[in-house]
């Protein structure tokens, strides 16, 4: 998101603080990646950016709440987002803005915004830190890997698909490998 890009060169020596709570910062990529995740309580990030040799130090915290599908029963699982982070954002090498131009024999206008793997983007040779990208990446890192609707969710019956949290579905547990049944029969006939 262009409007959340800040020029690293213009940072005051003491750094600068930012409060970001525009829902679109998270909502846009959630939609783009078709993620099954709903923001249930507003997300907000407090970020401080301190200029440093060869880059900048990005510190902050992210708060909010989302609803994801439970890993076991697919019902709503509420997850609190609480994440503190501290990362050094390195400036991409000085040659990077021209990277890719060698592939074309002149006549090709350089791309004004060359994206790199880092969250720093060059705009007219000025390194810009994309705060929206920081917010999004920290959000993804803060998502639970195993969201559950409640601790001890019983999940779904493997035979009929009923949600076992709503009670027993009455299915008889699987008898196991049918090849083993032959052996079980043999044991039974021993007497
Ligand atoms: Zn569940
Ligand atoms: Zn069942």
Is the pLDDT at 97 greater than 60, yes or no?
no
In angstroms, what is the span from residue 113 Cα to ligand 2's centroid?
55
In angstroms, what is the span from residue 116 Cα to ligand 2's centroid?
51
Higher pLDDT, 21 or 117: 21
Q: pLDDT grade, residue 180 (50/70/90)? A: low
In angstroms, what is the span from residue 175 Cα to ligand 1's centroid?
25
In angstroms, what is the span from residue 153 Cα to ligand 1's centroid?
5
Q: pLDDT grade, residue 124 (50/70/90)? A: confident
| Structural domain boundaries in the chain | 2-153, 155-191
Identify the pLDDT of residue 116.
40
In angstroms, what is the span from residue 148 Cα to ligand 1's centroid?
5
With b for 16 or more beta-carbon neighbours within 10 A and e for fewer, the 165-178 pattern comes to: beeeeeeeeeeeee
Looking at all shown ligands, the one closest to residue 152's CA atom is 1
CA distances from 99 to 19, 47, 122, 125, 136 (A): 33, 30, 12, 13, 26
Identify the pLDDT of residue 130.
95
| 68, two tokens | 């994801």
In angstroms, what is the span from residue 72 Cα to ligand 1's centroid?
5
The DSSP annotation for 93-132 comes to PTTGGGTTGGGS-S-PPPPSEE--SSSEEEETTEEEEEHH
Looking at all shown ligands, the one closest to residue 159's CA atom is 2
Instruction: Specify the pTM.
Output: 0.75
In angstroms, what is the span from residue 184 Cα to ligand 2's centroid?
25
In angstroms, what is the span from residue 78 Cα to ligand 2's centroid?
26
């Amino acid at each position: 998101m262009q409007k959340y890009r800040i020029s690293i060169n213009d940072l005051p020596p003491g750094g600068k603080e930012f409060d970001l709570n525009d829902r679109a910062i998270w909502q846009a990529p959630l939609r783009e990646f078709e993620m099954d995740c709903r923001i249930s309580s507003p997300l907000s990030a407090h970020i401080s950016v301190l200029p440093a040799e060869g880059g900048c130090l990005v510190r902050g915290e992210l708060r909010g709440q989302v609803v994801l599908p439970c890993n076991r029963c697919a019902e709503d699982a509420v997850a609190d987002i609480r994440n503190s982070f501290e990362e050094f954002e390195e400036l991409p090498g000085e040659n990077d803005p021209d990277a890719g131009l060698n592939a074309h024999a002149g006549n090709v206008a350089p791309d004004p915004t060359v994206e790199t793997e880092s969250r720093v983007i060059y705009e007219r040779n000025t390194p810009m830190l994309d705060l929206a990208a920081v917010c999004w990446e920290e959000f993804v890192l803060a998502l639970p890997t195993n969201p559950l609707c409640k601790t001890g969710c019983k999940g779904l019956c493997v035979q009929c698909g009923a949600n076992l949290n709503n009670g027993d579905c009455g299915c008889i547990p699987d008898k196991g490998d049918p090849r083993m049944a032959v052996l079980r029969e043999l044991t039974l006939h021993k007497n």
